[in-house]
Amino acid sequence: MGMKKSALELKRDLSSIAANLESTAGEISRLAERVNDVDVVAVLHLMNQQYKDADRLRAYVDEIRAGRITRAKGE
């Protein structure tokens, strides 16, 4: 049984957001390497949080794929 269109859209949206978070974390890392006055611990904390958020979104994608999360029809 395939996924409904709305579930596919949700899965794609979450995957896209997760990829954007990971990409942004990588950009933060590259920028931090070029700036001397950056608090490295703060930058690492921001990057870590973005990677954690991306992982959470990817877990939701897995739950959608498994059928445990569905998008309800709008009223």
pLDDT at 1 over 80: no
What is the reported pLDDT for 35?
A: 76
22-68 pLDDT per residue, tens:
999 888 888 888 777 667 778 888 888 999 999 999 999 999 999 89
Report the alpha-carbon distance of residue 71 to residue 25 in Å, rounded: 29
Q: 15 or 36: whose pLDDT is higher?
A: 15
Token reading at 62:
């897995």
Measured CA to CA in angstroms, residue 43 lies from 1, 15, 47 at distances of 44, 24, 6
pLDDT at 3: 62
- The closest alpha carbon to 54, from 25, 30, 33, 74, belongs to 25
Q: How far apart are CA 50 and CA 10, in angstroms?
A: 20
- The residue that leads in pLDDT, 35 or 1, is 35
